[in-house]
Amino acid sequence: MPKMKLNQIVEAMLFASKEPITTKVIAKIIRKVSKREVPDDKLCSVKAKEIEKVIDSLNRSYDKKKSPYIIEERSSGWSLFTRIEYGVYLRELFPDLKPTRLSAPALETLAIVAYRQPITKAAIEAVRGVNVDGVLQSLVERGLVGIGGRADLPGKPFLYETSKNFLEHFGIKDIDDLPNASELRQVELPQPETEVVDEEQLSLTGVNSSDGSDPDENDDESLEVSKENEDQNAPIEE
């Protein structure tokens, strides 16, 4: 097997991986394969820190060459993406890949959960002023929101929080990367008069949004998730 450079190996792995991959995993694989196939002192002892430097070097090289590629870190690791300006061509290439759409009520509910998590359903409804059974169930089914525990309140209502899929979906590494995160968490919000304990009625497998939901929750008007970099952030297929 011909001798390969570390940056070439890292780039190849990022290109081929369909899921984000951490620097620790990259380093571990390189060490394992190198010891078996290509004995090389440098490759056999490579560490995650070195992989981070390689990724930084690759990105600087991409910028210098005005490459259509960029390597970005997400909550679960690093991925190779195409830049946003090439999105129009990629949409034409993959016409069946429709952007995920959320209704305005869903986006509003998701924003409340994201900025004030963990939060109960009653607290969400106090802010929105409407029943959120249907829209909250939809967010759970989409994997954007999950149950993070129970509140220390009468009846122990569920506490909702965003998921790892939420971070991947919106292209951020951490919840603190949300715009104006620290400021918006300090804003005083309406509080529920009482925590109505009906969380058990919110099935995690199928609540119809018309069951007691405000008609506004089923508004056909949808908004495309504000994720222009979703086109950018589509991992490159082999």
Terminal CA-CA length for the chain: 22
Mean pLDDT throughout 53-82? Answer: 94
User: Cα separation of 152 and 97, whole Å?
Assistant: 43
Q: How confident is the model at residue 179 (pLDDT cuts 50, 70, 90)?
A: confident
Q: What does the mean pLDDT of the chain come to? A: 81
Strand, coil or helix: what is 228?
Answer: coil
The more confident residue out of 219 and 78 is: 78
What's the confidence (pLDDT) of residue 68?
Answer: 96
Rounded to the nearest 10 degrees, how much is the dihedral formed by the CA atoms of 165, 170, 175, 181?
Answer: -150
In Å, how far are 120, 121, 138, 150 from 205, measured between CA atoms?
19, 17, 10, 19
Structure tokens at 96: 């069946």
* Span 146-167, pLDDT tens digits: 999 999 988 899 999 999 889 8
Q: 158 φ, ψ to 5°?
A: -65, 145
CB 235 within 8 A of CB 94: no
Least-confidence region, from 30-34, 122-126, 218-222: 218-222
Count Cβ atoms within 10 A of the Cβ of residue 5 and give its class: 0-12 exposed, 13-18 middle, 19 or more buried. Answer: exposed
User: What's the fold here for domain 6-82?
Assistant: Arc Repressor Mutant, subunit A (1.10.10)
CB 112 within 8 A of CB 135: no
Mean pLDDT throughout 123-149? Answer: 93
The more confident residue out of 181 and 142 is: 142
Which amino acid would we find at residue 97?
L
Do the strands 101-103 and 222-224 form a parallel or antiparallel pair, or are they unpaired? antiparallel
Given a cut of 60, whether residue 34 has pLDDT beyond it is yes
The proportion of the chain whose per-residue pLDDT surpasses 70, expressed as a percent, equals 80
What's the confidence (pLDDT) of residue 219?
Answer: 43
Q: What is the pTM of this model?
A: 0.60
**Residue (of 123, 134, 233, 141) closest to 115 by Cα position:** 123
User: Cα separation of 88 and 91, whole Å?
Assistant: 5
List every span in the chain annotated with CATH 1.10.10.10.
6-82, 101-229
What's the confidence (pLDDT) of residue 29?
Answer: 96
Given a cut of 50, whether residue 192 has pLDDT beyond it is yes
Count Cβ atoms within 10 A of the Cβ of residue 46 and give its class: 0-12 exposed, 13-18 middle, 19 or more buried. Answer: buried
* Span 207-233, pLDDT tens digits: 333 344 443 444 444 434 444 444 444
Q: Tell me which of 3.30.465.10, 1.10.10.60, 1.10.10.10, 1.10.630.10 is the CATH number of domain 101-229.
A: 1.10.10.10
Mean pLDDT throughout 119-138? Answer: 93
- Looking only at Cα atoms, what is the longest distance across the chain? 70
